[in-house]
């Protein structure tokens, strides 16, 4: 990654900013963790989990029905949100990072917070980072007494409060800016919390208080920055495992711990809406609520099924998969100053689109090297659908397998889910299933009828399209870019 990417934009912006433009909206991007599209009532009327705040936000704003995370798992999606670039163009070709991983985002790459900070915004991230940091080391172990390097402050954020990775990954301790808020002298032991890895924990860190803590930090941040435009990336750790809803929500769903945690996640969204209303900021705040991927099948699926609740809302598959349940996510936008209430958009969008959208909102053009897979959603928000430029989208699974979507057609370069739902790729091969799957989502939203054998021209066209998008280093118009590593498009042996 060349250093001139960030510098070029900084120079472009330098000298042209005057006093704070109060007409520019605040921007709050709320990212749930592993919340299925069917967990929100406004997407799944037959769902059994009450989500009144999500539903209210949809009624007051715009709900997208064909929105997709950049990946079917956590870390790569978060990379794409903040950079406007598919993560498979980076060094992360499959899987996710952990709590001690090295930074994934090149400090020279333009990010959404850097873009907005260069245009007069205060920027903050509260919650789950999961994009790597540099820990000080002592005797080959993290030295928790020393400051961290390459934290979110190195990627355009003015303020950071949160956890280093998922809530099931150590260390279990809050980080504020570049330091831990306490030394993790306690520990989490095996099986203490289901689906949680053992490791060090801060004595004041209480899993069940996590969402309340983040709500308190969010309220304080909104109050303290209400006089100038701000960008807040609120990356929730819920309803990802461990399923640790607070006391007020424990047992509230009547279904199980996962459903309780979804309800608390919905509550936190409602708190943010209330904070904005109390501060008089609702009218000109661009508020987005979405999820980083689909529902995780290890989160009490049997209880949900018994209650008649489908977290994937009829879509095939779940988190980690190339099938729609892996990456089709809720995506709701509220911005009363611009967006009409009660609108439902069928446009195909991706979470990588935040970068270009923010550039449009502040009236700036991105440097040619930045946001190579980001298309502005502003035309859709303003009711100018014909001006929206995205024509295709690339899907990616936990194993690094690809799918390409254009219009109603979707081509999967895998014989199975390429993730966790059945058949997984090895089982699909044992069954003699073909290496490619082609679906027409207009006629087959459940992805049951593989048309690869009867539509060879469509297979060839979509294959060429994916080859082009990979080879060009971008899916937006502009000069060819380099991927950070060679991209294996087919992964036929995995």
Question: Is 493 domain-assigned?
Answer: no
- Using alpha carbons, select from 291, 343, 287 the residue that is nearest to residue 312: 291
Question: Is 294 domain-assigned?
Answer: yes
Give CA separation, 96 vs 12, 75, 104, 397, 399, in Å.
34, 5, 10, 11, 10
pTM of the predicted structure, to 2 decimals = 0.95
Are 405 and 380 in a shared domain? no
Q: 331, 352, 384: which is the final residue of a domain?
A: 384
Find the largest Cα–Cα distance for the chain. Answer: 65
Are 467 and 433 in a shared domain? yes
Question: Is 99 domain-assigned?
Answer: yes
Is residue 11 scored above 60 in pLDDT?
Answer: no
Residue positions counted in the chain = 494
pLDDT tens per residue across span 192-205: 999 999 999 999 99
- Using alpha carbons, select from 229, 221, 241, 34 the residue that is nearest to residue 126: 221
For residue 459, the enclosing domain spans 394-471
Q: How confident is the model at residue 492 (pLDDT cuts 50, 70, 90)?
A: confident
Are 366 and 419 in a shared domain? no
Query: What average pLDDT does this structure show over 288-313?
Result: 97
Are 411 and 308 in a shared domain? no
Question: Is 68 domain-assigned?
Answer: yes
Are 376 and 424 in a shared domain? no
Give the helix ranges, DSSP H, for 225-383. Answer: 257-278, 301-306, 324-327, 354-361, 378-381
Are 375 and 453 in a shared domain? no
Q: What is the pLDDT of residue 10?
A: 44
Question: Is 489 domain-assigned?
Answer: no
Locate 78 and state its tokens. Answer: 């978060």
pLDDT tens per residue across span 96-140: 999 999 999 999 999 999 999 999 999 999 999 999 999 999 999
Question: Is 33 domain-assigned?
Answer: yes
- Using alpha carbons, select from 295, 244, 254, 287 the residue that is nearest to residue 27: 287
Q: 334, 357, 384: which is the final residue of a domain?
A: 384
Is residue 53 scored above 80 in pLDDT?
Answer: yes
CATH of the domain at 415: 3.30.1120.10
Q: 349, 384, 419: which is the final residue of a domain?
A: 384
DSSP 8-state code for residue 138: E
Question: Is 431 domain-assigned?
Answer: yes
Handedness of CA 162, 165, 169, 171 (dihedral sign): negative
Using DSSP, state whether 222 is helix, strand or coil. Answer: helix
Q: What is the pLDDT of residue 22?
A: 53
Q: What is the pLDDT of residue 313?
A: 97
Which percentage of the chain shows pLDDT scores above 90? Answer: 94
Are 379 and 437 in a shared domain? no
Quote the CA–CA distance of 309 and 306 in Å, as a whole number: 7
Are 24 and 94 in a shared domain? yes
Question: Is 239 domain-assigned?
Answer: yes
pLDDT tens per residue across span 17-36: 333 345 899 999 999 999 99
Are 453 and 324 in a shared domain? no
Are 312 and 404 in a shared domain? no
Give the chain's domain count: 2
């Amino acid at each position: 990654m060349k250093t001139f990417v960030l510098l070029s934009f900084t120079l472009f912006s330098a000298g042209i900013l005057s006093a704070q433009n109060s007409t520019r909206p605040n921007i709050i991007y709320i990212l749930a963790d592993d919340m299925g599209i069917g967990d929100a009532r406004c997407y799944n009327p037959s769902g059994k989990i009450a989500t009144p705040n999500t539903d209210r936000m949809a009624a007051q704003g715009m709900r997208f029905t064909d929105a997709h995370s950049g990946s079917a798992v956590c870390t790569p999606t978060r990379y794409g949100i903040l950079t406007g670039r598919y993560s498979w163009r980076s060094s992360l070709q499959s899987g996710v990072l952990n709590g001690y991983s090295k930074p994934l985002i090149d400090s020279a790459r333009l990010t959404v917070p850097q873009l907005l900070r260069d245009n007069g915004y205060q920027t903050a991230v509260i919650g789950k980072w999961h994009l790597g940091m540099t820990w000080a080391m002592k005797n080959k172990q993290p030295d928790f007494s020393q400051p961290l390097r390459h934290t979110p402050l190195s990627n355009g954020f003015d303020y950071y409060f949160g956890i280093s990775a998922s809530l099931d990954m150590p260390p279990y301790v809050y980080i504020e800016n570049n330091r831990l808020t306490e030394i993790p002298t306690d520990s989490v032991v095996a099986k203490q919390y289901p689906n949680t890895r053992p490791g060090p924990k801060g004595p004041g860190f209480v899993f069940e208080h996590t969402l309340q803590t983040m709500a308190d930090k969010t309220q304080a941040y909104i109050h303290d920055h209400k006089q100038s435009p701000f960008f807040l990336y609120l990356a929730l750790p819920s309803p990802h495992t461990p399923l640790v809803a607070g006391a007020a929500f424990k047992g509230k769903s009547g279904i199980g711990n996962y459903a309780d945690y979804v309800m608390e996640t919905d509550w936190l969204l409602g708190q943010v809406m209330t904070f904005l209303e109390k501060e008089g900021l609702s009218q000109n705040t661009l508020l987005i609520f979405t999820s980083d991927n689909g529902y995780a099948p290890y989160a009490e699926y049997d209880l949900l099924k018994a209650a008649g609740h489908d977290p994937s809302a009829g879509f095939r598959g779940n988190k980690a998969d190339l099938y729609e349940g892996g990456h089709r996510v809720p995506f709701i936008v509220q911005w009363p100053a611009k967006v009409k209430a009660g609108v439902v958009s069928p446009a195909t969008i991706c979470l990588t689109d935040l970068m270009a959208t923010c550039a449009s909102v502040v009236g700036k053009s991105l440097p040619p090297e930045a946001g190579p897979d980001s298309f502005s959603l502003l035309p859709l928000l303003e009711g100018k659908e014909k001006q929206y430029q995205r024509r295709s989208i690339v899907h990616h699974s936990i194993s690094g397998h690809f799918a390409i979507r254009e219009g109603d057609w979707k081509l999967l370069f895998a014989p199975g889910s390429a993730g966790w739902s059945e058949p997984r790729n090895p089982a699909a091969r044992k069954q003699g299933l073909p290496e490619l799957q082609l679906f027409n989502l207009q006629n087959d939203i459940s992805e049951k009828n593989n048309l690869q054998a009867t539509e060879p021209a469509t297979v060839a066209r979509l294959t060429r399209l994916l080859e082009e998008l990979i080879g060009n280093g971008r899916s937006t118009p502009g000069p060819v870019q380099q991927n950070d590593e060679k991209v294996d498009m087919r992964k036929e042996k995995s």
